[in-house]
Structure 1
Amino acid sequence: MDMDVLATELAISRATLYRAAGSRDTLLGEVFWAIGRLLIEEASGEVTATGPDRVIGISRQFAELVDSAQQLRAFIAEEPQTAARVLFTTAADVNHRAVDAQLAIFVESGIEGEPGDLRSRAFMYVRTLESVLYGPLLGSGPIAFESAEPALRALLTP
């Protein structure tokens, strides 16, 4: 995403764009999160199971949807450092939002635990799922969902 081109297309100055959007990383984070939120909603709507099976089903569907998102894959391949910074650090708040969304999925699915424990488990769950979604970006290469499923399931029980 070229901020100069975006400013021109929006018919605003570059300075106005940066005032409104913050940094390029912040804007990319908003875009990634908007896409992620839509994919979570779509995945959630396709799963009818309950409890841990619902959580795993949503995660599997989400992973398949992310894998088929060609523009996201292209961006990660073309700008791996930017993608890693935006997706995995506090630079754009994507990870924090992903943990909040995962925590909501836990609660909606009936996963029980103390609030602090559930949040910690949601954080670990998201990090494990990221290894499936973004293995090459993390330096681990592709990881099949089935390989990570036992670890994900282990996080669903207190």
Structure 2
Amino acid sequence: MTPSAEQIVRAAARWIGRGARLDTRTFAGDLGISRSTLFRRVGNREDLMGEALWYMADRTMAGALRQWRAANGERVRDEAGELRCLVVMRRYRVDIAGNQGFRKLLNDEPTVGIRVLTDPAGRVQPRVMAAHVELLGLDVAAGGFTPAVSLESLCYAIVRLGEAFLYSDVLVGRAPDLDAASTLIAALVEAKEPTVL
């Protein structure tokens, strides 16, 4: 039986997760389908890579939110007073950065990896932004905080800032500093609107 597009994407995510290069000929053969069937189902290699990376990101974000709920239920702030969205986003970045297959992809194919991950019209970044809007929206709706700008603008800044720190080794040759990213993102989220003089 020919695998569905969803099954193909999940298989590609497993390949990336274990550090295997996503060669479409080998990958299609492993699935028992032709490259043309693979293309018809999920698009070209970068399309498939984007879908697989989004699948990984979505599962990582969902896992981080599950961890919060297991420890804190539906509270908006933990016992230390930190917002749910900040804790979940930090866990998400740490888990992404710690995924060895993901890091191998960026080390082996930095140009393709960054293009697929950060293309504003691609398959990853718009969905990551939407997931952040949804996450922060939970805290806004629960009265956890009032953003100084629209959620869309805030999440655009958060995602782009997170990318700059998460991929800094590839982008500018400097080690990722996830603590700095968390501090700056918290400042953005908890910012108060400036007083107009």
**TM-score, normalised with respect to structure 2:** 0.72
Which residue matches 2:54? 33
Is the aligned partner of 1:137 residue 2:167? no
Aligned partner of 1:24 in structure 2 is: 45
Q: Which position in structure 2 is the counterpart of 1:50?
A: 76
Q: Take 1:41 and 1:33, find their aligned partners in 2: how far apart are those partners? A: 12
Matched, 1:81 2:115: no
User: Which portions of structure 1, spanning 4 or more consecutive aligned residues, are displaced by more than 3 angstroms?
Assistant: 111-114
Paired with 2:108 and 2:151, the residues of 1 have a C-alpha distance of 35
Higher relative helix content: 1
Whole-angstrom CA distance in 1 between matches of 2:188 and 2:44: 35
> Alignment partner for residue 5 of structure 1, among 15, 19, 26?
26
With 99-108 and 52-61 compared, the bigger mean Cα shift is at: 52-61
Structure 1 residues not aligned, in runs of 5+: none
Bigger radius of gyration among the two:
2
Gaps of 5+ in 2: 1-21
Q: Deviation of residue 143 (structure 1)?
A: 3.3
Contact (CA 8 Å) 1:63, 1:132: kept in 2 or not? Answer: no
* Identical positions, percent: 25
Name the amino acid aligned to 1:154. A
Distance change in 2, residues 1:113/1:56 (3 Å): closer
2:156 alignment partner, one of 123, 135, 138: 123
- CA drift at 1:108: 0.9
When normalised by structure 1's length, the TM-score is: 0.89
Partner of 1:148: 181
The 3 A distance-change label for structure 1 pair 72 and 143 is closer
Q: CA deviation at 1:140?
A: 5.0
Instruction: Check whether the contact 1:99–1:122 (CA below 8 A) recurs between aligned residues.
Output: yes
**Equivalent residues, number:** 157
Tell me the CA shift for residue 146 of structure 1: 2.2
Instruction: Kindly state the Cα deviation for residue 107 of structure 1 after the two structures are TM-superposed.
Output: 0.5
Deviation digits for residues 20-52 of structure 1 (CA, Å, limit 9, x no counterpart): 111111100110011111110111122236256
Q: Does 1:70 align with 2:72?
A: no
The answer to whether the 8 Å contact 1:131/1:140 transfers is: no
Q: Which residue of 2 aligns with 1:96?
A: 126
Q: Contact 1:85/1:91 (CA < 8 Å) preserved in 2?
A: no
SS in structure 1 of the partner of residue 83 of structure 2: helix
Question: Which residue is equivalent to 2:16?
Answer: none
Task: Tell me which moved more, 6-15 or 49-58.
Answer: 49-58
